[in-house]
């Protein structure tokens, strides 16, 4: 007992002061992209050519980056000769609509809160059932991190639960392998209405690194009605937490 | 030629022209393989690829004692005699070949699908399942019957935030008589996505074979590209790779001890380790911006340098993390009520472990001295002199104790790496891949031995890419560990292995 107390005193209190203080992310972290069309060289397209997943397309001014396809590998920024495309350390990425994930010179449209009855029901207490559907387990690993004392997800009234019957929403990771399709749909059906669906990670939004695999469905878009998209490969725990809190109108 | 000389040696991280690999007769191949195994070799990989009269079969042998690898090749037709009964570590490989190419290993003692996908050759199904797509876990399960016997089915969707898989327990009261595990839910067809590559997406797909082992799998892939492209990683790049692989080991081993603590209800250590795991992931993000090491390991070296002052800062930052880690582990292993739950639980006999070919932490906990860092060191490991951390208990305690010992070694390795980064560049150009060649790389990931084998075509593209994640072998170990256990100890046993579903499912 004394040993436990001694070690507890040594290790100290480690819960982050988020959201009172913004998270400090590493220098090389790749978060929200910054696009400066003024620096774009006409018809350069080097960034688009460098993207392995077709996330970049030309736009009226400069380019647009689809954060739903992006895995934040940074190869586009490395290929850009002028610095017109770069990644910031801004962890805030989540959006409510698929089209809101298209980032341009003005950034992209961050998630807005649920409204009316949905916010009244879930704003102070949200229970989520998570389903892995063909990913690589990194999304799961960094979601589990939210339950550590650093993030302490419970203090926000959000909890992952075992039974879909106890859940208010379904959080899906993975590109939806064909072998998980029916289990995913059955889990969704088992949630009582009204219910939310969250696509977390590049795979669940657009297939991620497995986009185009004949064994996968390029994400949940064609299978389920999505209320929140959390980009990243995997999303940083702060990106996921930011998205959940935005959805609940807590940020 | 004696059977023991039929296998063509190849260095780890090396390549050889396919022309140098004789196409042995089937009998000769079998004789040579069994003779090698009798002499102590392990089968690191067994896979088929279209060629010859129908399929060519390759076996990569790992001769731990001699520190070298060797390759055997033969051809097989629609059916081939199974060797699983004589060499049980082959059982899953033979089922995998049958599932992929629709050819039947005759006399296989446990002939069931592995990942539940269609055969890669239309119209050929080893189980005669017709044109309809196979459904996951639709197979005959081994069943025990009797008045007081009941079956417990779990999954694919489990209680926690974890990957999917299906488990069938045959129970007599609380006691598990047999556990059968059906996987394949995470199947993304990775091996076939890599064909014709390297493609622009290839590095990212390799890094997500098992996302918690991104550095391990990317390292194996990079070694193959370097072997086929004739590149030598500069010393600074090699040392940074070692640091990244050991940080990955630290994050996962520390996280696993925390998960064990959670499952036995010892919450202080669960809380400490959960936080510490994140500290190691954040250290990896200092190297490359991503907590899982994405984008760091690339053919020819690493994608980004760490300046000497950054290395010094990271080293300084890790010092208190190391201290807290030691404190947490000490508390865990010094608490009798914890040890009482670990000792004797989930026991795997050494002979069984050797027969089914367990690797990594699970193998070493059963007394198997297997560690690719020691037997087949690559890059900076050549000078590191890692000794395998071996325990003999074969139980949950032994698997935890192996991790504790490896945490200490990894902490020292990372510290040395950051303290003494050699000068010079971190990456060299890795050229086009050599055509008509075979390359093989073994990397000791945190779970165990990762095997990647590539065959190139006339244009130097991947004609076959074989991945063996340590979980491919070790799930069988978990099933064995449950025999005679209480079903309520399944979570504890499971955490002590902490295997990858997606690494198995590919």
Segment A24-49 mean pLDDT = 92
| B170 within a domain of the structure (yes/no) | no
In the three-class reduction of DSSP (H, G, I as helix; E, B as strand; rest coil), residue B60 is classed as strand
| B140 within a domain of the structure (yes/no) | no
| DSSP character at residue B82 | -
- Residue A131 forms contact with B (CB below 8 Å): yes
pLDDT at B4 over 70: no
Give B 136-165 residues with CB within 8 A of chain A: 136, 156-157, 159-164
Other C-beta atoms closer than 10 Å to the C-beta of B294 total: 29
Examine the domain organization and report whether B203 and B93 are in the same domain: no
Quote the CA–CA distance of A165 and A190 in Å, as a whole number: 6
Task: Tell me what pLDDT residue B345 has.
Answer: 96
**pLDDT-based confidence at A58, cuts 50/70/90?**
confident
**Chain B residues in contact with A29 (beta carbon < 8 A):** 285, 289-290
A54, B77, B103, B126 from B110: Cα distances, Å: 44, 21, 15, 13
| DSSP character at residue B430 | -
Quote the CA–CA distance of B80 and B496 in Å, as a whole number: 36
Higher pLDDT, B255 or B123: B255
Task: Tell me what pLDDT residue B51 has.
Answer: 87
Q: Which of B184, B186, B204 sits opposite A52 (nearest CB)?
A: B204
What pLDDT, in 10s, does the model give residues B404-428? 999 999 999 999 999 999 999 999 9
Q: Domain containing B317: what range?
A: 198-473
Task: Tell me what pLDDT residue B78 has.
Answer: 75
Contact between residue B240 and residue B234 where contact means Cβ atoms under 8 Å apart: no
Q: Which of B115, B161, B189 sits opposite A213 (nearest CB)?
A: B189
- Residue B1 forms contact with A (CB below 8 Å): no
pLDDT at A191 over 70: yes
Residue in chain A lying closest to B209 (CA): A136
Strand-pairing partners, residue B184, are none
Task: Tell me what pLDDT residue B411 has.
Answer: 98
Segment A128-135 mean pLDDT = 96
Task: Tell me what pLDDT residue B53 has.
Answer: 82
| B167 within a domain of the structure (yes/no) | no
**pLDDT-based confidence at B123, cuts 50/70/90?**
confident
Question: What CATH number does the domain containing B79 carry?
Answer: 3.30.460.80
Helix axes B267-288 and B235-263, enclosed angle (nearest 10): 160
Task: Tell me what pLDDT residue B8 has.
Answer: 94
pLDDT at B47 over 80: yes
Instruction: Decide if B189 and A4 are in contact by the 8 Å CB cutoff.
Output: no
| B139 within a domain of the structure (yes/no) | no
Task: Tell me what pLDDT residue B1 has.
Answer: 52
- Residue A140 forms contact with B (CB below 8 Å): yes
B30, B42, B340, B350, B369 from B89: Cα distances, Å: 14, 8, 32, 14, 16
The structural domains of chain A, ordered by start, are 116-247 (3.40.50.12280)
Examine the domain organization and report whether B245 and B376 are in the same domain: yes
Contact between residue B413 and residue B246 where contact means Cβ atoms under 8 Å apart: yes
Helices (H) and strands (E) in chain A, counts: 8, 10
Segment A67-84 mean pLDDT = 95
Q: What are phi and psi of B56, to 5 degrees?
A: -105, 145
What pLDDT, in 10s, does the model give residues B472-493? 999 999 999 999 999 999 999 9
Which helix (H) or strand (E) covers residue B396, if one does?
helix B396-419
- Residue B375 forms contact with A (CB below 8 Å): no
Examine the domain organization and report whether B296 and B415 are in the same domain: yes
Task: Tell me what pLDDT residue B131 has.
Answer: 82
Nearest to A55 by CA among A38, A26, A37, A77: A77
| DSSP character at residue A89 | S
- Residue B320 forms contact with A (CB below 8 Å): no
Quote the CA–CA distance of A228 and A243 in Å, as a whole number: 8
Mean pLDDT for all residues in chain A: 95
In this complex, how many residue pairs, one in chain A and one in chain B, have their CB atoms less than 8 Å apart? 178
Quote the CA–CA distance of B404 and B365 in Å, as a whole number: 12
Instruction: Decide if A134 and B211 are in contact by the 8 Å CB cutoff.
Output: no
| B448 within a domain of the structure (yes/no) | yes
| B290 within a domain of the structure (yes/no) | yes
- Chain Cα centroid distance, residue B233: 23
Instruction: Decide if B212 and A183 are in contact by the 8 Å CB cutoff.
Output: no
Q: Which residues contact B444 (CB under 8 A, 6 or more apart)?
A: B216, B360, B371, B372, B373, B450
Mutate to test the interface with A, among B211, B331, B495 (most CBs of A within 10 A): B211
**pLDDT-based confidence at B2, cuts 50/70/90?**
low
Mean pLDDT for all residues in chain B: 95
Instruction: Decide if B272 and A27 are in contact by the 8 Å CB cutoff.
Output: no
Segment B162-174 mean pLDDT = 96
**Chain A residues in contact with B272 (beta carbon < 8 A):** 7, 11
Quote the CA–CA distance of A133 and A139 in Å, as a whole number: 11
Q: Which of A134, A162, A236 sits opposite B188 (nearest CB)?
A: A134
| B145 within a domain of the structure (yes/no) | no
Q: What percent of chain A has pLDDT over 70?
A: 100
Q: Strand A126-132 to strand A169-173: parallel, antiparallel, or no bridges (unpaired)? A: parallel
| DSSP character at residue B486 | B
| B484 within a domain of the structure (yes/no) | no
Question: What CATH number does the domain containing B225 carry?
Answer: 1.10.645.10
How close A153 comes to chain B (CA, Å)? Answer: 13
Examine the domain organization and report whether B218 and B355 are in the same domain: yes
B32, B353, B404, B418 from B213: Cα distances, Å: 33, 23, 19, 21
Task: Tell me what pLDDT residue A60 has.
Answer: 82
The domain total for chain B is 2
- Residue B133 forms contact with A (CB below 8 Å): yes
Task: Tell me what pLDDT residue B335 has.
Answer: 95
Contact between residue B28 and residue B74 where contact means Cβ atoms under 8 Å apart: yes
B234, B239, B240 from B423: Cα distances, Å: 9, 11, 12
Quote the CA–CA distance of B217 and A73 in Å, as a whole number: 17
What pLDDT, in 10s, does the model give residues B449-470? 999 999 999 999 999 999 999 9
């Amino acid at each position: 007992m004394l040993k436990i107390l001694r070690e507890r005193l040594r290790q100290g209190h480690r819960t982050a002061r988020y959201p009172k203080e913004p998270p400090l992310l590493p220098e090389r972290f790749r978060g929200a992209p910054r696009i400066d069309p003024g620096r774009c060289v006409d018809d350069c397209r080097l960034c688009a050519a460098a993207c392995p997943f077709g996330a970049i397309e030309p736009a009226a001014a400069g380019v647009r980056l689809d954060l739903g396809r992006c895995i934040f590998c940074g190869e586009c920024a490395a290929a850009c000769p002028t610095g017109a495309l770069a990644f910031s350390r801004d962890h805030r990425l989540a959006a409510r609509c698929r089209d809101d994930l298209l980032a341009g010179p003005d950034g992209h449209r961050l998630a807005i809160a649920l409204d009316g009855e949905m916010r009244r029901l879930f704003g102070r207490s949200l229970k989520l059932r998570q389903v892995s559907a063909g990913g690589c387990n990194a999304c799961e690993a960094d979601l589990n991190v939210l339950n550590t004392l650093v993030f302490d997800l419970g203090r926000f009234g959000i909890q992952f639960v075992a039974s879909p019957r106890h859940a208010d929403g379904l959080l899906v990771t993975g590109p939806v392998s064909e072998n998980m399709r029916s289990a995913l749909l059955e889990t969704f059906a088992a949630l009582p209405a009204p219910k939310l669906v969250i696509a977390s990670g590049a795979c669940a939004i657009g297939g991620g690194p497995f986009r185009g695999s004949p064994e996968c469905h390029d994400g949940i878009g064609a299978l389920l009605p999505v209320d929140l998209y959390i980009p990243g490969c995997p999303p940083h725990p702060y990106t996921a937490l930011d998205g959940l809190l935005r959805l609940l109108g807590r940020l | 030629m004696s059977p023991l000389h039929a296998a063509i040696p190849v260095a780890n991280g090396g390549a050889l022209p396919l022309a140098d690999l004789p196409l042995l007769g089937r009998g000769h191949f079998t004789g040579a393989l069994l003779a090698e195994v009798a002499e102590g070799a392990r089968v690191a990989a067994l896979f088929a690829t279209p060629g010859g009269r129908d399929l060519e079969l390759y076996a990569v042998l790992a001769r731990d004692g001699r520190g070298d690898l060797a390759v055997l090749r033969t051809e097989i037709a629609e059916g081939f005699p199974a060797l699983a009964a004589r060499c049980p570590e082959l059982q899953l490989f033979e089922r995998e070949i049958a599932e992929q190419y629709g050819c039947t290993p005759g006399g296989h003692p446990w002939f069931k699908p592995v990942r539940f996908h269609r055969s890669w050759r239309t119209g050929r199904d080893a189980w005669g399942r017709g044109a309809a797509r196979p459904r996951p876990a639709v197979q005959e399960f081994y069943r025990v019957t009797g008045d007081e016997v009941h079956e417990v089915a779990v999954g694919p969707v489990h209680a926690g935030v974890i990957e999917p898989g299906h488990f069938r327990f045959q129970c007599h009261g609380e006691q598990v008589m047999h556990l059968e595990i059906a996987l394949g839910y995470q199947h993304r067809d990775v091996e076939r996505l890599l064909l014709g590559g390297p493609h622009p997406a290839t590095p990212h797909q390799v890094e997500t074979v098992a996302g918690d082992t991104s550095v391990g799998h990317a390292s194996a892939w990079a070694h193959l590209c370097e072997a086929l492209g004739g590149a030598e990683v500069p010393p600074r790049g090699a040392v940074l790779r070692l640091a990244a692989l050991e940080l990955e080991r630290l994050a996962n081993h520390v996280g696993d001890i925390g998960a064990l603590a959670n499952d036995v209800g010892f919450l202080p250590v669960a809380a400490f380790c959960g936080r510490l795991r994140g500290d190691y992931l954040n250290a990896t993000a200092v190297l490359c911006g991503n907590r899982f090491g994405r984008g760091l390991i690339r053919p020819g070296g690493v994608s980004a340098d760490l300046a000497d002052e950054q290395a010094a800062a990271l080293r300084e930052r890790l010092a208190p993390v190391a201290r807290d880690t030691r404190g947490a582990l000490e508390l865990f292993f010094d608490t009798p009520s914890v040890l009482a739950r670990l000792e004797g639980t989930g026991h795997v006999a050494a002979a069984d472990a050797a027969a089914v070919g367990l690797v990594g932490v699970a193998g070493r906990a059963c007394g198997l001295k297997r560690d690719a860092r020691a037997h087949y060191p690559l890059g900076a490991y050549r000078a590191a002199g890692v000794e395998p951390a071996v325990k003999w208990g074969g139980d949950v305690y032994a698997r935890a104790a192996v991790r504790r010992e490896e945490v200490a070694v990894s902490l020292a390795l990372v510290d040395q790496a950051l303290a003494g980064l050699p000068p010079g560049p971190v990456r060299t150009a890795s050229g086009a891949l050599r055509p008509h060649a075979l390359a093989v790389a073994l990397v000791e990931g945190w779970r165990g031995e990762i095997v990647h084998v590539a065959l190139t075509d006339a244009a130097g593209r991947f004609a076959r890419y074989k991945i063996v994640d340590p979980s491919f072998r070790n799930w069988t170990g978990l099933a064995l560990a449950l025999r005679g256990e209480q079903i309520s100890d399944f979570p504890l046993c499971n955490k002590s292995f902490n295997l990858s579903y997606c690494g198995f499912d590919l």
